[in-house]
Amino acid sequence: MRKLLTAEQMRETDRFAIQKLGIPGIVLMENAGRAVADQAERMLENCRGGKVLILCGKGNNGGDGFVAGRHLANRGFEVLFLLAGDRKEIRGDARTNLEITESMGLPVVRTTGKKSLLKISRPALIIDALLGTGFSGKVRSAALDAIRWINGSGVPVLSVDVPSGLNCDDGTFNPECVQADATVTLAEIKRGCILPPGREKCGSLTVADIGMPRFIRGAASGDVFLLQKEDIGSWLPERPPDAHKGRFGKILFLAGSTGMTGAAVLSTTACLRSGAGLVLLGIPAGLNVILEQKCTEVLTRPLPSTPEGGLSLEAESEILRLLSWADVLAIGPGLGSHSETRELVRRVMRRCRLPMVIDADGLNALAGFTDWKSLKAVKILTPHFGELSRLTGLKAEEIEKNRFAAVREWSGRFGSILVLKGSPTLIGVPAGEIYVSCTGHSGMATAGSGDVLTGMIAGFLGQACGPLEAAACGVFLHGLSGDLAAEKTGRRSLMAGDLIQGIPDAFRHMETAGGRIARWKDDRQVRDLNRD
């Protein structure tokens, strides 16, 4: 698991390494530049004779660029440095590397704006070392000219640490930033490289080891973590050879209403595909025949319904009896918004002591609800931006803009695991930590995708995963199922049912033939985040 850091947290880590441990900053810069050169050489594999153009700013990001260019020159590449800024303003380790570059006789030309850029002959690769993690606010005119020239060049671009112009805390930019084909981010991943639109601006993302001791990385003050394959692999429930279906959980679903039986089918089927032992679906009585035909592996229980085809208050006593059978309650997919059904949902939640996964109309039934302490059970809430807006009264746009803060605050207020669906999906815990999953893609923005996720989380919860682990496994494998399914269907044609078909592929992807969980190197893990 890797931390996702803000710019200030990264600076804090740098200061500790340099000031407390005595690691010279120029050593860290040397390691960073060499890692950038390694990535550049991979990108130049088929054009050894091409020129490498390196645009360097006046800060440490530019210093990394000077180091990278020096190594590339030593490996036989033709290198040209463009210095954006006054040479006199370059200080410290960056100036040392500028002077080394000049002492080697490598060409360093100051760019004075758009006209000087237009005189540059077309290179094979551009290395963007203009603005680093210290940048925030609005890009000034000189740097903006360079960014626009880079983006209009039609040449492959490699960015150092973050694409220039990107706010590495929130993934935004003003007004433009470099569109990189690849980014080598240094020591740790910055949050802006994961959040949209920054995620798309980074291209293929690689984390470079620049010599920071592991204990520093682990002790950094960040409380936002990127979920990786090895984390999920270690949390997946075991399947002992002598086990029986009762060992893998009994999950009760309250789902479905007239016109929305598909939500019940998708959620319960996904639960079984995720390894759950027994799934029982409480469904309005008039729909029971339909569900028995659609869900042959799922047990069904017809329950009293409203004239409109939703669950009625008369179902409460029967549902409470079913809770004594179950290990987990999943509530909400396709229940409908009838006032009687909404009141039933609230009553059941107050009486339930089982771990609950609450989604869709289960969440909508809690709109305006304030007595969260009356819900005694462990809760996993799975809203999208609109549903969290209804729960909190905040505008969906405000939540999307400040998603880390929203997840942290409202997970604490609700006293629940909060899964905020999106790109990426965030998982918040009441103590304040946030876990980020970057599997999945835009093709999963389709009806029923959230129902599949509800079923998967409930399935893992029923197999004795802890609430956080169940949410993390469900979210990560839900996205991975979508990634693998899209290899067959494409993204545009993907439907929720394809996600369910992708679940077995996701499990196979995680496990070796011997059943042990595979391990991946850090750079491969992060490159996979942007895999098409």
Order of all β-strands in the sheet with 182-186: 108-110, 78-83, 51-56, 125-129, 157-160, 182-186, 204-208
How far apart (Å, rounded) are the C-alpha atoms in residues 514 and 180? 39
pLDDT recorded at residue 47:
73
- The Cα 479–Cα 425 span in angstroms is 9
User: What's the pLDDT score for residue 523?
Assistant: 39
Nearest to 151 by CA among 167, 160, 163, 135: 163
Length of the chain: 532
∠ Cα 236 240 246 (to 5°): 90
Q: What is the pLDDT of residue 351?
A: 96
Residue 512 is predicted with a pLDDT of 54
- Contact predicate 65/127, CB 8 Å: yes
CA Rg value for the chain:
26
Residue 241: asked if its preceding bond is cis (omega within 30°), the reply is no
Measured between alpha carbons, how far is 360 from 392 in angstroms, rounded to an integer? 15
Taking Cα atoms as reference points, which of 393, 396, 439, 391 lies closest to residue 411? 391
Measured from the Cβ of residue 307, the count of other Cβ atoms closer than 10 Å reads 10
Cβ pair 193, 162 in contact under 8 A: yes
Say what the pTM is: 0.90
Closest CA to 366 of 384, 385, 388: 388
Tokens coding 84: 């954006």
> Alpha helix locations (H) across 416-495?
449-462, 467-489
Task: Report d(CA 483, CA 504) in Å as an integer.
Answer: 13
Write down the pLDDT at residue 86: 86
**What tokens were used for 124?**
């094979």
DSSP 334-364: T----HHHHHHHHHHHHH--S-EEE-THHHH
CA distance linking residue 267 with residue 396, whole number of Å: 25
> CA 203, CA 193: separation in Å to the nearest integer?
9
Among all chains, which residue has been given the structure tokens 């939500």? 263
For residue 483, what are its two tokens? 């990634």
| pLDDT single digits (tens) 1-37 | 888 999 999 999 999 999 999 999 999 999 999 999 9
- pLDDT at position 326, please? 98
- What does the alpha-carbon distance between residue 308 and residue 498 come to, in Å, rounded to a whole number? 30
Helices then strands, counting H and E runs in the chain, come out as 21, 19
Contacts made by residues 394-398, CB under 8 angstroms, sequence distance 24+: none
- The b-or-e profile of 146-157 (16+ CB within 10 A means b, else e) is bbbbbbeeeebb
Please give the chain's pLDDT, 532 residues, in tens. 888 999 999 999 999 999 999 999 999 999 999 999 999 999 998 776 789 999 999 999 999 999 999 999 999 999 999 998 888 999 999 999 999 999 999 999 988 677 778 788 899 999 999 998 988 888 987 789 999 999 999 999 999 999 999 999 999 998 999 999 999 999 999 999 999 999 999 999 999 999 988 887 666 667 999 999 999 999 998 888 888 999 999 999 999 999 999 999 999 999 999 999 999 999 999 999 999 999 999 999 999 999 999 999 999 999 999 999 999 999 999 999 999 999 999 999 999 999 999 999 999 999 999 999 999 999 999 999 999 999 999 999 999 999 999 999 999 999 999 999 999 999 999 999 999 999 999 999 999 999 999 999 999 999 999 999 999 999 999 999 999 999 999 999 999 999 999 999 999 999 753 333 433 333 334 444 433 3
**What pLDDT digit, counting tens, does each position of 366-407 carry?**
999 999 999 999 999 999 999 999 999 999 999 999 999 999
DSSP β-bridge partners for residue 419: 427
pLDDT of residue 517: 40
Please calculate the CA angle 330-386-472 and round it to the nearest 5 degrees.
Answer: 45
Those residues whose C-beta lies under 8 Å from the C-beta of residue 36, and which sit 6 or more positions away, are 64, 65, 67, 68, 127, 129, 158, 160, 184, 208
430: preceding bond cis by omega (within 30 degrees) = no
Query: In the CATH hierarchy, which top-level class contains the domain 2-220?
Result: alpha beta
Domain map (residue ranges) of the chain? 2-220, 231-237+328-530
**Tokens 């075991």, residue located:** 238
Biggest distance spanned by C-alpha atoms of the chain: 86
Please give the CATH number for the structural domain made up of 231-237+328-530.
3.40.1190.20
Tokens standing for 343? Answer: 């009141």
> Quick check: 419 and 450 in contact, CB under 8 A?
no
Output DSSP code: residue 476.
H
CA–CA dist 222, 403 (Å, integer) = 16
